[in-house]
Structure 1
Amino acid sequence: MTNILRVESSIKGDAAVSRLLTDRIVARLVAANPDAVTVTRDLAAGIRPVDGQWLGAVYTPTEARTESQQATAAYADALLDEVKAADVLVIALPVYNFGLPAQLKAWIDQLARKGQTFRYTEAGPEGLLPGKRAIVAYASDGTKLGSEIDFASGYLRHILGFFGIADVEFVAADAIAFGAEEAIGRGEAQVDALAA
């Protein structure tokens, strides 16, 4: 059985081009793996940012946590458990102001936990989530994927790799402002060419 975690991050909801692509990606994966289970996390519906309370909660031993820390840690653990259970992550990456949406960055911050998603060794950092596949649905009005003004895709690829997720593929409907139909068509064709 394949476990798919679908992470939506666009503030445009169903009108988002990134969601159009994630719909298509998930449909392709499920068609090839009919027993697949899909969990959706819509970050635009709200995600708590990390703060001092979070730091104290997740790094305090379970038995020593206050009631408030227990609630904070339970929320963070639920997000982390979704990722740990996933075989495939399908991540919507709409580009806002040349970078990631704040809610997607907040999700990443929730996941970045020493001893859970990475650790430091004498040989350098080691990701603790190997063997997973990530497919990123990149959508932008004016920024081309991989261009010198694209600060989103490189960061997301890097942080996923830092967590041990090395199999990262991008499909892109980019520079939509210069031809929406063509850009969306390119993105859909890239989805259709993915190995399912």
Structure 2
Amino acid sequence: MKVLSVISSPRGAASNSIKLANAIIEKLQAANPAATVVVKDLTQTPFPHLEESHLNAFFTPAEKHSEENKMAIRHSNEAIQQLMEADVLVIGAPMYNFGISSTLKAWIDHICRAGITFRYTANGPEGLVKGKKVYVAVATGGVYSGDLQAMDFVAPYLKTVLGFIGITDVAFVKAEGFAMSGLQDTALETAINSIVL
């Protein structure tokens, strides 16, 4: 088993999404002792936000790539290769202002490539990334699994965009209430205890 761990929190050892993601990885390794883990820390090696040069490279056939195209597309190619090589993805996704971080969004923009990770057919879009399992470690200051669920744009967005490229086996593990007295001290432990592989 090859596990790709995608980190999107800049808080390092203090990050609750990283702690939760690491707990998921530990359980995966316990169940699969031969598993290997590749860590992609998007805060240490951030992906550039899409610019004209990236889009030009995406929509230019590879055999016609200029040196500029090759430079612009290298981040995307590397990210897609890592994605394709992985059997399991563990994505750490702290909630920032009800959504994902811009670093995670930039990575997603580089892995969603027409003709490579998805394609349009006469019957609509088809995802081309098959046979992957994803665990998303979500950390939030409030509690969004109840009455405030409509304000959670992390889980619905990630489920939609991953499904669009063909990854439909997605499990969310949520640690909620880190900014709320009475919950903050037990939020991480409760989430870890809820992990089901």
Shorter-chain TM-score range: over 0.9
In the TM superposition, residue 61 of structure 1 has moved relative to its aligned partner by: 2.1
User: What's the offset of the Cα at 1:184?
Assistant: 1.2
Please state how far the C-alpha of 1:143 moved relative to its aligned partner: 4.3
- Unaligned stretches of 5+ in structure 1? none
Q: Tell me the residue number matched to 2:103.
A: 103
TM-score norm. by structure 1 comes to 0.94
Following superposition, the deviation at residue 145 of structure 1 comes to 3.8
CA-based RMSD of the aligned residues comes to: 1.2
Match of 1:165 among 160, 164, 167: 167
Partner-residue secondary structure (3-state), 1:170: strand
Report percent identity of matched pairs.
40
Asked if 2 retains the 8 angstrom alpha-carbon contact of 1:172 and 1:186, the reply is no
In structure 1, the partner of 2:25 is 26
Between the aligned partners of 1:118 and 1:23, the Cα distance in structure 2 is 29
Deviations 1:65-90 (A, max 9, x none): 22121122222100111111111010
Distance 1:71 1:33 in 2: 37
- With the length of structure 2 as denominator, give the TM-score of the two structures: 0.93
Q: Residue 136 of structure 1 aligns to which amino acid in structure 2? A: V
AA partner of residue 43 (structure 2): A
Residue 187 of structure 2 aligns to a residue whose secondary structure is helix
**CA distance in 1: counterparts of 2:61 and 2:122, whole angstroms:** 25
**Partner Cα distance (1:177, 1:64) in 2:** 52
Q: What is the deviation of 1:49? A: 1.2
Cα contact 1:89–1:135 (8 A) shared by 2: yes
The alignment of Structure 1 onto Structure 2 pairs a total of residues equal to 192
Runs of 4+ in 1 over 6 A off after TM superposition: none
Query: Which residue of structure 2 lines up, in the alignment, with residue 81 of structure 1?
Result: 81
Q: Is the 8 A contact 2:10 2:43 kept in 1?
A: yes
Q: Deviations over 1:123-161 (max 9, x none)?
A: 211111121100000001124247111011100011011
